[in-house]
Structure 1
């Protein structure tokens, strides 16, 4: 059964820099040997995440790159995909876009903003994943 995990931002360090949570989740996937796609909302977010993955933890290295930039992207543990760029599907997807993640995957991670007024699109995605038969989980971060 496919699974959707919703990560609700609550800790101050993630409120101030939500992409830091994305980096933590990417590192966790990398540490467990799970290649991950990160579906960025736009090119600016993809570039910001690329920069932050280099710098967020001096003791961690998360092999990553932005899709469409180089030929060997299937070797990157974390592939950051801007809109309008095609990338091969992977079993684990972290979705930062406003719609349900497209394609086929075993597990999708959704980051829920700290601001309650920004959560409605996530509630709609929760219902959509539920209707598609996903097992749903919520985590307070």
Structure 2
């Protein structure tokens, strides 16, 4: 298993960190990997949903926020699934984690977005240690 930490550095991502999530989702789509984004809350999920439609006029990334009325199997066609904490859904091999805790469950790779704000980086340092203790291969990327 692998955990990649994306440290926000570029002004574009500092102004809108969810743009980095859009870029990561596009890379996953281009690699043919369906992914799940674990949003912190419904407001963040809605904002990400809007950005995925508008961040690049030439990109189309099939995505959907998890809907409690979705039937089993409905999400298989959706390349990027956005889940809020109140909806329990199966993880996919690739997880983009925006929540405040390390991801537990069955997956192959987790992408953690690290804010530019130093005060927000402390918990992510703890998460690094948690993944390391669980035997993950760890990588850091300056974005």
Whether the TM-score (by the shorter chain) exceeds 0.5 is yes
Indicate the residue corresponding to 2:11 in structure 1.
Answer: 12
Aligned match of 1:119 in 94, 118, 121? 121
TM-score of the superposed pair, with normalisation by structure 1: 0.96
- After TM superposition, the runs of 4+ consecutive aligned structure 1 residues lying more than 4 A away are none
1:103 aligned partner: 105
Greater Cα offset, 68-77 or 127-136: 68-77
Q: Secondary structure at the match of 1:119?
A: helix
**Counterpart Cα distance in 2 of 1:123 and 1:22:** 19
Q: Which secondary structure state, in structure 2, belongs to the residue aligned with residue 102 of structure 1? A: coil
Residue 131 (structure 1) aligned with residue 130 (structure 2): no
Q: TM-score, normalised by structure 2?
A: 0.95
Gaps of at least 5 residues in structure 1 are none
Alpha-carbon distance in structure 1 between the residues aligned to 2:3 and 2:100? 15
Any unmatched runs of 5+ in structure 2?
none
SS of the equivalent of 2:130 reads helix
Report deviation, 1:74. 2.1
**Number of positions where the alignment pairs a residue of Structure 1 with one of Structure 2:** 140
1:21-60, aligned counterparts within 5 Å? 21-60=20-59
